[in-house]
Amino acid sequence: MSNDFLDTYTRMLKEKSPFAVAMVVNRVVPSSGKPGDKAIILQDGTIKGWIGGGCTRGIVLKEALLAIRQGKPRMVSIAPGSEEVIKHGVVSYNMTCQSGGSVSIYIEPVLPRPHIIILGKSQIARALSKLGKATGYEVTALAKGVEKEAFPDADHLIDDNQLNPAVITSTTYIVVCTQGENDSQALLQAIRSGSEYISFVSSYRKANSIYNELKKQGVSVEELKRIKTPAGLNINAKLPEEVAISILAEIITHLRTDKNTEGKDEVSQLNMDEYFINPVCNIPIQKSTAKYVIPYKGKDYFFCCDGCKVSFEADPEKYRVKEKADA
């Protein structure tokens, strides 16, 4: 395992950024990827390492982005004559390179632990800290005068009322448990943080009163709609521990629901100034590494291997029409 691979892996873990690791587990020559070759794939499409060139690179990129989005590993088989199907847990792709060969690649997503930031030091805040930690999440308790004795399970204690937006990631969950102590200030900090999930432990009546205060401070109605009030799923919770369970259940539901990518495909986050979707095999190709570029009717078409190039040249209008239909 190379130092560059380990350095990148360690850096991504520290940055709490989702990524995937791909490793070649089997190969039939002349496929260029060899067993043990590995790469790290970032969400922006950057590939650090080597798992083969040609169509293999684009297929791995597509499947790695899907693995990150779904949070599920996968085995990918690329071989001549294969249909693009999922069979017995293996995703099969046709090897379009005319040189032949085949390769099997295991792809595993590496996702940061969910991070619950609890604003406040109420009984519900304490119970949520304990349950969140027991679930394996990272927990931060933030409040003026917060003490270790009250939050023995928390990973971080911040004796302050200021929330640092720099710590917010796509898996950060902010729960405002102030319950009468600097409620509006805590909510304003949560809104300004940019977190995708914000919940407020409060009744509707109290929340509406505080929301009116926030509107006077320039908070929009759309921003207020992002706040989940009352916090947690409706399970008729009464005790602090029960409320904490309902909040944690809501966080888990939010985490496991693929709502943020609704209507998007696995390559939608790629910079399409740098990438091109091959109309023959629907695989993303980095334009700078494309083996072939074919101009057709005022547009450049990029191909990673000779197989797709030959198919396109034989009937370019067929793939041009297909491309329009997919747009």
Q: Residues 67, 21: contact at Cβ < 8 Å?
A: no
CA–CA dist 288, 274 (Å, integer): 7
Assess contact for 84 and 95: CB atoms under 8 A.
Answer: no
Q: List Cβ neighbours of 158 (8 Å cut-off, separation of 6 or more).
A: 140, 141, 142, 143, 146
At 49-82, the pLDDT tens digits run: 999 887 888 899 999 999 988 888 999 998 876 6
pTM score of the predicted model: 0.73
| Domain residue spans of the chain | 3-110, 115-258, 275-326
Q: How far apart are CA 36 and CA 51, in angstroms?
A: 9
What is the arrangement of strands in the sheet containing 38-42, beginning at the earlier edge strand?
47-49, 38-42, 19-28, 102-110, 74-79, 90-94, 85-87
Is the alpha carbon torsion for 154, 158, 161, 164 positive or negative? negative
Instruction: Give the integer Cα–Cα distance in Å for 151 and 178.
Output: 15
Rounded to whole angstroms, how far apart are CA atoms 190 and 183? 11
- Alpha-carbon Rg of the chain, whole angstroms? 25
pLDDT digit string (tens) for the chain, length 327 residues: 678 889 999 999 988 889 999 999 998 877 778 899 999 999 888 999 999 887 888 899 999 999 988 888 999 998 876 665 566 778 888 777 766 678 999 999 999 999 999 999 999 999 999 999 999 999 999 999 999 999 999 999 999 989 999 889 888 999 999 988 889 999 999 999 999 999 999 999 999 999 999 999 999 999 999 999 999 999 999 999 999 999 999 999 998 886 444 445 667 678 788 889 888 888 888 888 888 899 998 899 998 888 888 889 999 888 876 665 565
Please tell me the distance from the alpha carbon of residue 183 to that of residue 141, in angstroms, as a whole number. Answer: 15
Percent of the chain with pLDDT over 70: 91
260-273 pLDDT, tens digit per residue, is 444 456 676 787 88
Structure tokens at 181: 């102590």
Q: What are the C-alpha distances in Å from 6 to residues 13, 109, 159, 244?
A: 11, 16, 35, 38
Please say whether the beta carbons of 55 and 308 come within 8 A: yes
Any idea which architecture 115-258 has in CATH?
Answer: 3-Layer(aba) Sandwich (3.40)
Amino acid at site 67: A
Helix (H, G, I), strand (E, B), or coil: what is residue 318? helix
* Cα–Cα distance measured from residue 283 to residue 300, given in angstroms and rounded to the nearest whole number: 16
| Rounded Cα–Cα distance for residues 259 and 255 (Å) | 9
